[in-house]
Amino acid sequence: MEKWMKFLEVNSSRIFDLTIEHAILVGLAILVALLIGVPLGIYLTTNDYLAETVLQIASVMLTIPSIALFGVMIPVFSIVNQGIGFVPAFVALVLYAQLPIIRNTYTAIRNVNPQMRDAAIGLGMKPIQRLFRVEIPNAFPVIMAGIRTAVVINIGIGVIAAYIGAGGLGVLITQGISRGDNYLIITGSVAVAILAMIADGILLWIQKRFTPKSIAN
Amino acid sequence: MITFDKTTKTYEGNVTAVKGVDFTVEKGEIVVLLGPSGCGKTTLLRMVNRLESISDGKITIDGQDSMSLNQTALRRKIGYVIQSNGLFPNMTIEENTMIVPDLLGWSKKDKKERFQKLMEMIGLSGEKFGKRYPHELSGGQQQRIGVIRALAADPPVMLMDEPFGALDPIIREKIQDEFLQIQKEVKKTILFVSHDIDEAIKMADKIVLLRGGELMQYDTPSEMLVRPKNEFVREFFGKDRAIKSLSLHTIQDLQEMIGLAEFDDAIADTKTINVNHDLRNTLSMLLNQEADQVIVSDDDGNKLGAITIDIVQKYLHYEIKAKPAPVLEGV
C-alpha cells in the first residue's frame, strides 16, 4: 500500500496530464462525430434506401479491430505527413463513434409516434418546425443514449491510440506492458474506467435535465 | 363551406379509395362521414387539409380551390382534431393549445387571453392546467384540449377524425354534449369522421354515408333512417333504425305533436324524466323500469304528464315513419 501511495505521488501530475490528453482526444472526436452523425441520422429518416446502406457501413466499421484500424490510418495519413500522433487517432475515433450516434438518431426520429407527427403536419408545421419542436425533443433520450454509448466506446478504444503516438492514458498501459510494471497497467486501467464513468455520469445528467418530463415516465 | 367536386383519390396500382364524391358542407354545419372501415372516410377528410393528395376533381373551401393555397397556410386555417388527441408530450397544455397562434406569430398577450378563453369554454381552469403536461391529465381532459387546440386560431373550418373514439362511453357522451354546446356558440363548418352510428346521428346535421369510396347517401340523420336510398343504407343502419331515429326527437316534440298521457298519482315509486330527454333514452327507461309509465317534468320540476310505451310507439308510427316524403327538386 505504501508503495502504491509513493507511486501515485511521484506520477500524479503525469497521470493527470495524460487523463486530460485522453479526454480532449475523445471529446473532440465525439464533437465532430455528433456534427456528422446527428444530421446524417435525421436525414436518413427521409431516405430508406440510403439508410440501409449507411447503417450497414457504420456497423462494419465497428467490427474492425481497433488496433487494425489505427494501423490502417498510418499509411493513409502519412501522405499528408500526419502518419502518427493525434490526427489518425482522432479520425479513427470519429469513425467508431458514428454507428451508435447515427443509428440511435435515426431510430429515435423514426419512432416518434406517427399520430404525433400527423398532428404536427395537420396543424401546419413546416418540416423544420416539426423537427425542432416535436421530433427532436421527443427523440432526445434515445439520441442521448447513443451519444453515451459512443463516448464510453471511444474512451475505451482511445487507449489503443497510444500505440500510434496519440498519447492519452493508453501510454501508461502500453509502457506498463512493455516494462512488466503492474502499477502502471493498473493505474492506467483504473483511470480509464473512472474517466468513462465520470463522462457517462455527466451525459446522463444532461439527458435527464433536458428530457421533457412527460416522456421520461 | 366545403365543397367536394367529383373528388377522387387513386393510389398507385389503381386502388381507388374515393370515387368522384360530390357534396357540400354548409357553413356552420356538422357533416359526419360515416361508413364501414375502408370506405374512404378518413382519406376523404385528410384530402381537405392535403394530408392526402387529390388525384382528381377538387375541394373548395369558402369558394377557394384548396390546391390554390400554400399547403402550410391552408392547414393553419383548418382546425384538426385526431382520435388519440395528438398532444405533444414535450409541451405544456398552454403551449400545446397555442401552437397554431404561435406559428401564426400572435403576441404573447393575445395568446394568453385566447388560452384563458378557450379553457373557460371547456370548463377547465387555465391557471391550474396551463403549466401541466399532457400525461398529467385524464383521457377526457386531453381530448378536450385536443379540441380547443384546433379552435385556437379561430379557423372557419374544422376536421375531426374520430375525435371521441378512444374515450369510454360515459365520458364520450359527456364530451359530445359539451362539444355540441360549444358548436352552438362558435358555429364552425365541421367535417367529422365516425364509425359509430349513434354518434353520427347525435352529432350530425347531415350524414355522408360511404361505401368503397362511393357516396351512398347524403342526408339528414332522420331522412337517412326513415328513407334509406338503397339496400346498403338500410342494412347499415340496421333493423333497429326506427329506434335509433327516436334519439333525434325529444319528449317535447312528442308532447307538441300528440300530447302526453294523464299521470296516475296512485302508482307509487314512479320515476320522473325531464321533458328535454330524447325518446330513445325514454324508451329504454320505460323498458327497464318495467313500469307502465314515467312522469314527465319540465325544468322547474312541474309534472307535465306521463309517457308510456304505447305513446312512444304511436309517435314513431305517425310522426316519424309516416311523415310525407319531401318534394324532390326537379322531379
The CATH number of B2-239, from 3.40.710.10, 3.10.290.10, 3.40.109.10, 3.40.50.300, is 3.40.50.300
Nearest to A214 among B49, B51, B133 (CB): B133
Tell me the nearest-neighbour CA distance from B292 into chain A, angstroms: 50
Edge-to-edge order in the sheet of strand B303-307: B272-274, B294-297, B303-307
Identify the closest residue of chain A to B48 by CA–CA distance: A122
Q: Is B168 left (phi over 0), alpha (psi -120 to 50) or beta?
A: beta
B-side interface with A, Cβ within 8 Å?
49, 51, 72-76, 80, 82-84, 86-91, 99-100, 103, 133-136, 149, 159
| A122/B133 touch (CB, cutoff 8 Å), yes or no | no
| B86/A138 touch (CB, cutoff 8 Å), yes or no | no
* Tens-digit pLDDT profile for residues B54-90: 999 999 998 889 998 899 999 999 999 988 878 999 9
- Per domain, the residue ranges of chain B are 2-239, 249-321
Contacting residues for A116 by C-beta, under 8 A, at least 6 apart: A134, A138, B86, B88, B89
pLDDT tens across the length of chain A (217 residues): 777 888 888 888 888 999 999 999 999 999 999 999 999 999 999 988 999 999 998 888 888 888 888 888 888 888 887 778 888 889 999 998 998 999 999 999 999 988 889 999 999 999 999 999 999 999 999 999 999 999 999 999 999 888 888 888 999 999 999 998 888 899 999 999 999 999 999 999 999 988 877 676 5
Helix, strand, coil share of chain B (percent; to 5): 40, 25, 35
DSSP B69: S
CATH class, range B249-321: alpha beta
CB pairs under 8 A between A and B: 68
CATH class, range A14-208: mainly alpha
What pLDDT, on the 0 to 100 scale, is given for residue B118?
A: 93
The chain-wide mean pLDDT, for chain B, equals 86
Q: How confident is the model at residue B291 (pLDDT cuts 50, 70, 90)?
A: low
Give contacts of A138 with chain B, Cβ < 8 Å. 88-90
CA distance A200 to A217: 21
Q: pLDDT higher for A5 or B208?
A: B208
Give contacts of A130 with chain B, Cβ < 8 Å. none
Tell me the nearest-neighbour CA distance from B134 into chain A, angstroms: 7
| A119/B103 touch (CB, cutoff 8 Å), yes or no | no
DSSP B218: E
What pLDDT, on the 0 to 100 scale, is given for residue A84?
A: 82
CB B100 within 8 A of CB B82: no
Q: What would the mean pLDDT of B126-151 be, rounded to a whole number? A: 91
What pLDDT, on the 0 to 100 scale, is given for residue B48?
A: 94
Output the DSSP codes for chain A.
-HHHHHHHHHHHHHHHHHHHHHHHHHHHHHHHHHHHHHHHHHHHTT-HHHHHHHHHHHHHHHHS-HHHHHHHHHHHHHTTT-SSSHHHHHHHHHHHHHHHHHHHHHHHHHTS-HHHHHHHHHTT--HHHHIIIIIHHHHHHHHHHHHHHHHHHHHHHGGGGGGGT--STHHHHHHHHHHT-HHHHHHHHHHHHHHHHHHHHHHHHHHHHHS-HHHH-
> Helix crossing, A2-44 with A136-157: angle to 10°?
140
Identify the closest residue of chain B to A118 by CA–CA distance: B86
Q: What one-letter code names the amino acid at B126?
A: G
Question: Quick check: helix, strand or coil at residue B322?
Answer: coil
- Per domain, the residue ranges of chain A are 14-208
What pLDDT, on the 0 to 100 scale, is given for residue B27?
A: 93
What pLDDT, on the 0 to 100 scale, is given for residue B50?
A: 92
Cell 403536461 belongs to which residue? B133
Q: Which residues of A63-85 are buried (b: 16+ CB within 10 A; e: fewer)?
A: eeebeebbeebeeebeeeebbbe
What pLDDT, on the 0 to 100 scale, is given for residue B327?
A: 45
- Does residue B325 carry a pLDDT above 80? no
What pLDDT, on the 0 to 100 scale, is given for residue B266?
A: 66
